[in-house]
Amino acid sequence: MNYYPVDDINIPELALFNERAETKLYRFYEPDPGLFVVETPMVIERALAAGYEPVAMVGEEAIARREAERLAPQLGDIPVYLSTDRVLSEIAGYRLARGLLCEFRRRKLPDPETVCAGASRVVLLEEVQNPTNVGAIFRSAAALGMEAVLLSKGCADPLYRRASRVSVGNVFLVPWTIFDSRMTAAQRISWLKAQGYVTVAMALSDNAVRLGEQDFGGEEKIAVIMGNEGEGLSAETIEACDVVVKIPMGNGVDSLNVAAASAIAFWELRKK
């Protein structure tokens, strides 16, 4: 293992760790997939276990040395930069509870057929733009029986630093991919139906049934469709789905945050 002490955020070796525009990392090797950065030992370990290739690591000295030695077989001969809590806070934009960052190479995304092969419960996210919500949905998906996550092109990237951290590394455990941007909302639903899925749209629609009123437990394959934080699902998507479902609200509240709603829907629509 190669260790290098660093104490300046502006040195070239930390340039990619310090990159705020994560789309720049995404395009680093264009046309090949680029890079992404992961925070905290647990999430880094899950990325390694999923087979992602590490490029470099930076961390508070004691933590970085300990974790680098523990994960040495998976990390290989990458540079490990030993830094301070101050420098790491500047890089992350906030104080890291467990100061460790690791840079990985992206991989080419699998096609939807591969992701959904053998999956009886999947979720499709339509234009869910907040990385925190995407990460929380992945965590709920892993915990509550969703076997794959499909995303429209307008969704936040599951490999964004915040998304993977909020998911507690579950973006590396649940198979996922992004639909071709040329596919319309209706075409995505048609594709799911062609794979044998009953498509269940979560929306505040006049024709929506209350979650729990219709028994889906006997359905072999279900796709749950979740929409954008502000606008929800598009009318095109709602129209194309087999059934529209809503979560009953009280006290004049109209809806839940999409991440909270996903956990309730996944629990109710899980395979029983």
Whether 118 and 88 map to the same domain: the answer is no
> E strands, 120-221, where?
121-125, 148-151, 176-178, 198-202, 209-210
Q: Which residue has the higher pLDDT, 94 or 147?
A: 147
Residue 91, pLDDT score: 67
The dihedrals phi and psi of 5, each to the nearest 5 degrees, come to -70, 135
First to last CA, the chain: 48
Q: To which residue do tokens 């999947």 refer?
A: 122
Whether 12 and 87 map to the same domain: the answer is yes
Write out the DSSP string of 40-68: SHHHHHHHHHTTPPEEEEEEEHHHHHHHH
Whether 34 and 126 map to the same domain: the answer is no
The answer to whether the CB of 58 falls within 8 A of the CB of 83 is yes
Round to whole Å and give the CA distance between 108 and 153.
15
* Among 105, 131, 162, residue at a domain's last position: 105
Q: Give me the chain's average pLDDT, please.
A: 87
Whether 86 and 193 map to the same domain: the answer is no
What CATH number is attached to the domain comprising 144?
Answer: 3.40.1280.10
pLDDT, tens digit (0-9, with 9 covering 90-100), for 43-87: 999 999 999 999 999 988 888 889 999 999 999 999 999 887 777
Residue 56, pLDDT score: 92
Whether 150 and 198 map to the same domain: the answer is yes
Q: At what angle do helices 131-143 and 258-269 cross, to 10 degrees?
A: 20
Whether 49 and 125 map to the same domain: the answer is no
Domain count, the chain: 2
What CATH number is attached to the domain comprising 43?
Answer: 3.30.1330.30
The dihedrals phi and psi of 56, each to the nearest 5 degrees, come to -165, 160
* Among 89, 105, 121, residue at a domain's last position: 105
Whether 132 and 225 map to the same domain: the answer is yes
Whether 196 and 157 map to the same domain: the answer is yes
89 pLDDT more than 80: no
Range of the domain at 39: 2-105
Round to whole Å and give the CA distance between 243 and 265.
13
DSSP 9: T
* Among 105, 124, 148, residue at a domain's last position: 105
This prediction's pTM: 0.90
Whether 127 and 94 map to the same domain: the answer is no
Under the banding of pLDDT at 50, 70 and 90, the label for residue 34 is confident
If residue 36 lies in a helix (H) or strand (E), which one and from where to where? strand 35-39
Whether 117 and 93 map to the same domain: the answer is no
Whether 182 and 263 map to the same domain: the answer is yes
38 pLDDT more than 70: yes
198 pLDDT more than 90: yes
pLDDT, tens digit (0-9, with 9 covering 90-100), for 202-222: 998 878 888 888 777 778 999
pLDDT, tens digit (0-9, with 9 covering 90-100), for 144-185: 999 999 999 989 999 998 899 999 999 999 999 999 999 999
Whether 84 and 122 map to the same domain: the answer is no
Q: To which residue do tokens 């279900």 refer?
A: 222
| pLDDT > 70 fraction of the chain, expressed in percent and rounded | 90
